[in-house]
Chain A
Amino acid sequence: MPDSTPPPTDRRALAAGKARAHRERTRRMRRRVATGAATAFIALFATISVQMAAGNDPATGTASAKVKASAPAASTSSSTGSDSSSSSTPAAVTTQQS
């Protein structure tokens, strides 16, 4: 029966080859994770930017929030603004007073 165990030099070469293959796989995997993370970051950045551009950003406020923010000033200056419908026309209130 022939001996199936490879000689020491072959074994060493085999181990070195395996280690090289593992290093290569490791490098490839790290590169893939880095690429995926960079892509995800760009996608998230773009989503938030588009959200901001559309005026629906929770940080900078929505268009309706801006109207709401200007409403108390209008009702205070008119001192009769109990009606919520007047909040949508703050400019008209100012014009009446002036």
Chain B
Amino acid sequence: MSATALNTHLFWITSRAAGSLALILASLSVGLGLLMGGGYLKRRTRDLRVLHEALSLGTIAALAVHAGALLFDGFVHMSVLDVTVPFVTSYHRFWTSLGIIGGWAIVLLGLSFYVRDRIGRNRWKLLHRFTALGWLMGAGHALGEGTDAGQRWFLASMAIVVLPALALLLTRLGATRRPPTSQRALRPL
């Protein structure tokens, strides 16, 4: 590609790469969180928590680049409101809004970790579970609107990181819905 073409599409390519990276990091972070929460990883939890936090902060940074780069792109001409407020933009309104809501959920719920003492630990734990919903919205946004959604490399990389995390989430939801064995035993026939 010529230097002119790269210059012309610089922010567009940056936004796409950052969006894909955000989804990869978010999937890894959600997957790790589910592994820890589900009791699959019992050793070195302190270190794993640090890794979980670092992946979450990486996701937030990638999301900021993903949205920020669009402001400078000369093709889609998005404003600050277009990339931060749902249902403002006319560009793929539904999928863009889904991404914005998911992005805000990830950012706010992720950063709420630092004020968990003020929120209350139990309340924070309850809120923290909704991060997975934000991640799912992001995945929906990427597949529904993402420019690279039809590309083999994109689908393969997403399958590697998104599917395991999704399987863990479904397992966790299934386990939450199913009452414990002791309660089932007490239930009248």
- Residues of A at the B interface (CB closer than 8 Å) are 22, 25-26, 29-30, 33-34, 37, 40-41, 44-45, 47-53, 57-60
Stretch of B16-24, B92-100, B116-124 that contacts chain A: B16-24
18 contacts between A and B (CB under 8 A): A29-B47, A29-B50, A33-B51, A33-B54, A37-B58, A37-B61, A41-B17, A41-B62, A45-B17, A48-B17, A48-B148, A49-B6, A50-B1, A52-B13, A53-B1, A53-B5, A59-B16, A60-B9
- Among B5, B6, B18, the residue within 8 A (CB) of A41 is B18
- Asked if A59 and B17 make an inter-chain contact with CB atoms under 8 angstroms apart, the answer reads no
Given contacts A52-B1, A52-B13, list 9 more A-B pairs with CB under 8 A: A29-B47, A34-B54, A37-B21, A37-B58, A40-B21, A44-B16, A45-B13, A45-B17, A59-B147
Smallest CB-CB separation from A45: which chain B residue? B17
Main secondary structure of the interface of B (DSSP, over half): helix
* Contact of B84 with A by CB under 8 A: no
Residues of A within 8 A of B18 (CB): 41
**Which residues of chain A have C-beta atoms less than 8 A from B24's C-beta?**
40
Instruction: Report whether B1 and A29 are in contact in the complex, using a CB–CB cutoff of 8 Å.
Output: no
Least distance between B110 CB and chain A CB atoms (Å):
14
Q: Is the CB of A52 within 8 A of B5?
A: yes
B148 near A58 with CB under 8 A, answer yes
| Complex Cα–Cα for A47 and B150 (A) | 14
Whether B21 contacts A25 by the Cβ 8 Å rule is: no
